Amino acid sequence: MRRSLQEVRLLARDPVLLVLVVVIMASLLVFVVYPLVLVLLQAFRTPDGFGLDNFELIAQRRLYRNALRNSLVVGAVVGVCSVVLGYIAAYVMTRTDAPLKRLFHNLTILPIVSPPFAGAISILFLFGFNGIITRHLLGLDNFSIYGFGGVVASQIFTFTPIAYLSLRGVLAGINPTLEDAALNVGASRSQVFWRVVFPLSLPGVASAFLVVLIESMADFGNPLVLAGAAFPMLAPQAYLEITGSFNLARGAMLAAVLLVPSVTAFAIQRYYINKRQYVTVTGKPTASTSKSVSPAAKWALFAVVALFGLIVIAFYGVILLGASTAVWGFDYSVTLRHFRYVFEVGWDTVKDTVIVAVLSTPISGVLGMLIAFLVVRRRFPGKGGMEFMSILNFAVPGTVAGIGYILAFNGPPLILTGTLAILVLNFVFRYVPVGIQSGIAVLRQIDPSIEEAAQNLGADGITTFRKVTLPLIAPAFFSGLVFGFVRAMTAISAAIFLVSANWNLMTVQILNQVGSGRLGVAAAFSVVLLLIVLAAIGIISLIVGRRAEAASTVRFG
Amino acid sequence: MAIDLKLVRLRKEFAGHDGGAPVVAVDDVDLAIEKGAMVTLLGPSGCGKTTLLRMIAGFEEPTSGEVWFGQRRVDRLAPNARDTAMVFQSYAIFPHLNVYENVAFGLRMQRMDKATAKRRVDEVLDLVGLTAMAHRAPSQLSGGQQQRVALARCIVLEPHVLLFDEPLSNLDAKLREQMRVEIRELQQRLGITSVYVTHDQTEAMALSDVVVVMNSGRIEQVAHPAEIYARPANRFVADFIGRANFLGGAVVDARTVEVAGRRLALSAETPIAAHTTVTLVARPEAIDLSPAGDDVGDGLPGSITRAMFLGDHAEYLVAVPGVGDVLVVRSNPSQTGMLEPGSAVVVNPGPLHALPPGV
């Protein structure tokens, strides 16, 4: 008590900072916590008060029971497969001298920058009723890709890059001298891997698995396209309850059920496993000697990476083909009709999507950096609460957040439904954790005495942030922007609840077109979306490249 | 001289781990520093010297007590309102600003007009010899030059108090000695009251008007460097500053003590009553060592157990019956020759300093 009083007094020395803390706290409460609380309240609501009635439906109705089981099983299977693939790719990239590493790195992470269900569309082109492979190559007439296999395949394609990126960081952080030391004391190559490298990377493996599990359970687009009616899953089912049957209570109940495993996995990942990471971040890249991998193993692993790369090429190639083919499966003549549709009928949607992303990305980025600055460098009561609230959205599936926003902002006191604001606010607070995480990571590397020096020389808290902290974290800020922009352009699960006739998004359009069987238009939308994202990444990295050059040569502390 | 910086019963407690008892980093420290003085806070790591400095700068909030700059009480002011300037251990140079902008940063915060600011910055850059480097990025500077930027950035503000947090610990030995001289000369020329934290006693000796020896959050002694060395207040100070032999003895009279049955002289009159048992400090380099058999008066006989040649001096460990092992340092051994281990010698401790009993 005495300590928080003292902290308030310290903060009150810097009135701007105090106001900022209060404003951020208030907006986190309104735009993160409040919608979530409403979802939970709605889920427990019964005709006469509150109770578990809605949840009893899970026991009573096979549909819901299956949805829960399917989501969990798919999440686990995708988690294992993506981690294995991601681990192999990360190992090849960090521990071998395999050829074309740069190219395969970029291919492996390409699915991250496309809509999260681009893979699903490709799978339809290749394995659907009119798929090239299933129908034309194999001549199968009654093969159905819908269901478990289809969802798992498209999710592995979508989430392997995430596992790869996080495991790459883990493996790069394990000092190769440890492997040299093990070889030196007589361990064989396989012993070096199984007794040294693998145990050291185990916390990272567990962490990557949980992240993929969370993403898979929260995924909306792939199941909606590929699950089919016979294979219900939680996220699309919650959506169907609300938009199809207008049953908010059941939708909220399914969302609440979805929330439990997600939040649990997130809590384990963040508060248990991450404290057990052996990785020492020295910022000093240590060169791998590449002696711990035999040539045979190297080429075998490389084959896996190359295969994944080829699949990525095939999937995007097929989308490009599909977008310029008249009628897939029947008439393979080249046409620009689908693109014309995008630019004529769908142009407003393209514009809306870009406006929403361009507005929400910088706001989210600045807010993220500010919160990171406050959390790492300042002491104030409720700091832990602020950090928790602001990263909560990592764990909250988009479907849950979307339902929460409908519940929260559909009526007084704050009516936002159908506006641009509701989309922007949702995106800002959904993707702010990304900015916070990268901001925290960079700030921890910057000697705090640099900021103390600024204060010592007469700068107040906000001036210090503006003149010293912000320029130093600019590269992280901009790469956070890239990620935020990509997420904003490709988001679907929360957005699908919030779009309206006035403000529509390309991802929602793509799903609608797939739903009405116009795969060509869906593919054309996907291509345009991907091009916009790649162009934005190019522009931002041009800016960052110039800035980073100035800052990266500097020794921090 | 007027008192310029005053600490009154200044105390800092940090919360203990897992709700344990609070850790006292600075324990009710009183200190008064005259205007223009260079004061070093000297002590082993964890003694509270850096916390004390950070409380003066305002980066740590005192648990209790007061900090006064002249007639102004500052302990409740934010760091940016205190009129101190600090040279950080890591220099803390703004990596995104060039040398000139770094030095001008504080003046810009004061909203000083550009022309005056430029004149002041140019003057200071000239003073530290960085005029030619004004537009370089910090990453293009050597360690010593970065150090000078950090210093220039502080003195350009003409602050009320200049603070140094182990500023030389990242430099190599040669450069450290050179910067030590430069800092001392600049400080004396500008006459800014300065507080300098270090764990390096040589640095403290070379730099300061007053040395404050700290241990476990408390001040052990405040005195001029020579005084600290010659007349340490207690065993901790004697041991921490330089090297010391501690001999047991008894006071005979104000100028004489008895050690192992021999009467030896004290360096100064002691107020300690006769017959009191005391600990005596004998500095290794003040002890005279001669081969046995020479005419050595009242010396203590012993034999060498260890001899080490160290270039400019030699170290001997001498076993003296009734006293224990005595460390002796003899200079210029390549001229005077080494004594062999095992040889019988006579040790003559020279003037001894008697520590007050009970410390």
CA-based torsion, B345, B346, B351, B352: positive or negative: positive
**How do strand B210-215 and strand B38-42 relate by DSSP bridges?**
parallel
Q: Determine whether the interchain pair A456/B79 forms a contact, defined as Cβ–Cβ distance below 8 Å.
A: yes
Nearest-by-Cβ selection for A10 from B61, B90, B92: B61
Task: Give B78's contacts in chain A (Cβ within 8 Å).
Answer: 13-14, 455, 460
Task: Please give the average per-residue pLDDT across A299-305, as a whole number.
Answer: 93
Tell which residue, B336, B331, B302, B334, has the closest CA to residue B319: B302
Q: Which residue of B has its CA nearest to A448?
A: B92
Spatial separation of the C-alpha atoms in residues A239 and A501, rounded to whole Å: 18
Angle at A481 between CA A476 and CA A484, to 5 degrees: 125
Residue B126, C-beta contacts closer than 8 angstroms, at least 6 positions apart? none
- Contact, A108 vs A309, CB < 8 A? yes
Nearest-by-Cβ selection for A449 from B90, B95, B154: B90
- Contact, B249 vs B259, CB < 8 A? yes
Q: Determine whether the interchain pair B86/A456 forms a contact, defined as Cβ–Cβ distance below 8 Å.
A: yes
Give the model's pLDDT for residue A2: 62
B34 bridge partner residues: B3
Question: Nearest C-alpha of chain B: how many angstroms from A155?
Answer: 43
DSSP letter, residue B30: E
Third-level CATH fold of B243-355: OB fold (Dihydrolipoamide Acetyltransferase, E2P) (2.40.50)
Burial class (CB in 10 A: 0-12, 13-18, 19+), B311: exposed
CA atoms within 13 A on the CB side of A395: 22
Q: Which residue of B has its CA nearest to A473?
A: B96
Residue A290, C-beta contacts closer than 8 angstroms, at least 6 positions apart? A95, A96, A97
Burial class (CB in 10 A: 0-12, 13-18, 19+), B5: buried
Residue A274, C-beta contacts closer than 8 angstroms, at least 6 positions apart? A203, A207
| Residue B254, both tokens | 């104000």
Spatial separation of the C-alpha atoms in residues A454 and B189, rounded to whole Å: 26
Q: Determine whether the interchain pair B88/A14 forms a contact, defined as Cβ–Cβ distance below 8 Å.
A: no
Task: Please give the average per-residue pLDDT across A171-181, as a whole number.
Answer: 80
B246 bridge partner residues: B281
Nearest-by-Cβ selection for B78 from A13, A471, A553: A13
Nearest-by-Cβ selection for A453 from B15, B86, B110: B86
Residue B1, C-beta contacts closer than 8 angstroms, at least 6 positions apart? B34, B35, B36, B37
Question: Nearest C-alpha of chain A: how many angstroms from B169?
Answer: 13
**Percent of chain A scored above 90 by pLDDT?**
28
User: Comparing A151-155, A163-167, A474-478, B312-316, which segment has the lowest mean pLDDT?
Assistant: A474-478
Predicted confidence (pLDDT) per residue in B32-76, tens digit: 999 999 999 999 998 999 999 999 999 888 999 999 999 999 998
Burial class (CB in 10 A: 0-12, 13-18, 19+), A2: exposed
| Residue B359, both tokens | 């410390």
Predicted confidence (pLDDT) per residue in B244-285, tens digit: 999 999 999 989 999 888 888 898 888 888 889 999 999 999
- When scoring A456, A462, A465 by the number of chain B Cβ atoms within 10 A, the one with the most, hence best to mutate, is A456
Task: Give A553's contacts in chain B (Cβ within 8 Å).
Answer: 137, 139
Burial class (CB in 10 A: 0-12, 13-18, 19+), A287: exposed
Nearest-by-Cβ selection for B109 from A6, A457, A557: A457
Amino acid at A234: L
User: Comparing A246-250, A464-468, A504-508, which segment has the lowest mean pLDDT?
Assistant: A246-250
- Contact, B106 vs A455, CB < 8 A? no
Tell which residue, B176, B21, B54, has the closest CA to residue A456: B54
Q: Determine whether the interchain pair B94/A453 forms a contact, defined as Cβ–Cβ distance below 8 Å.
A: yes
- Contact, B58 vs B84, CB < 8 A? yes
What Cα–Cα distance (Å) separates residue B117 from each residue in A339, B132, B146? 60, 18, 21
Task: Give B57's contacts in chain A (Cβ within 8 Å).
Answer: 452, 456
Q: Which of residues 429-488 of A touch B (CB under 8 A)?
A: 447, 449-450, 452-460, 463, 467-468, 471-472
Compute how many other C-beta atoms are within 10 angstroms of the C-beta atom of residue A340: 13
Q: Determine whether the interchain pair A452/B86 forms a contact, defined as Cβ–Cβ distance below 8 Å.
A: yes
CATH architecture of the domain B3-237 equals: 3-Layer(aba) Sandwich (3.40)
Nearest-by-Cβ selection for B95 from A10, A457, A551: A551
Tell me the helix, strand and coil percentages in chain B, rounded to 5: 30, 35, 35
- When scoring A3, A7, A457 by the number of chain B Cβ atoms within 10 A, the one with the most, hence best to mutate, is A457
Crossing angle for the helix pair A148-173 and A62-95, nearest 10 degrees? 40
Tell which residue, B358, B359, B355, B327, has the closest CA to residue B257: B355
Nearest-by-Cβ selection for A455 from B80, B90, B138: B80
**How do strand B300-309 and strand B262-265 relate by DSSP bridges?**
unpaired
Nearest-by-Cβ selection for B57 from A456, A555, A557: A456
| Residue B103 touches chain A, beta carbons under 8 Å | no
Predicted confidence (pLDDT) per residue in B285-295, tens digit: 999 888 887 66
- When scoring B88, B149, B151, B156 by the number of chain A Cβ atoms within 10 A, the one with the most, hence best to mutate, is B88
| Residue B336 touches chain A, beta carbons under 8 Å | no
Task: Give B93's contacts in chain A (Cβ within 8 Å).
Answer: 450, 453
Q: What number is the ipTM of this complex? A: 0.80
Give the model's pLDDT for residue B164: 95
Annotated domain spans of chain B: 3-237, 243-355
| Residue B159 touches chain A, beta carbons under 8 Å | no
**How do strand B84-87 and strand B3-14 relate by DSSP bridges?**
unpaired
Consecutive H or E run containing A326: strand A325-327
**SS3 state at A382:** coil
A298 bridge partner residues: none
Grade residue A275 by pLDDT with cuts at 50, 70 and 90.
Answer: low
Task: Please give the average per-residue pLDDT across A72-91, as a whole number.
Answer: 95
Give the model's pLDDT for residue A404: 92
Q: What is the 3-state secondary structure (H, E, C) of A529-554?
A: HHHHHHHHHHHHHHHHHHHHHHHHCC
- Contact, A111 vs A157, CB < 8 A? yes
Q: Determine whether the interchain pair B93/A450 forms a contact, defined as Cβ–Cβ distance below 8 Å.
A: yes
Q: Which residue of A has its CA nearest to B75?
A: A10
Q: Which residue of A has its CA nearest to B105?
A: A457
Q: Determine whether the interchain pair B89/A458 forms a contact, defined as Cβ–Cβ distance below 8 Å.
A: no
Q: Determine whether the interchain pair B79/A455 forms a contact, defined as Cβ–Cβ distance below 8 Å.
A: yes
The mean pLDDT value of chain A amounts to 84
Tell which residue, B232, B216, B243, B317, has the closest CA to residue B267: B232
- Contact, B268 vs B308, CB < 8 A? no
* φ, ψ (nearest 5 deg) of residue B117: -60, -45
Spatial separation of the C-alpha atoms in residues A305 and A313, rounded to whole Å: 12
Amino acid at A475: P
pTM over 0.95: no
Grade residue A522 by pLDDT with cuts at 50, 70 and 90.
Answer: very high
- When scoring B96, B149, B161 by the number of chain A Cβ atoms within 10 A, the one with the most, hence best to mutate, is B96
Q: Which of residues 332-371 of A touch B (CB under 8 A)?
A: none
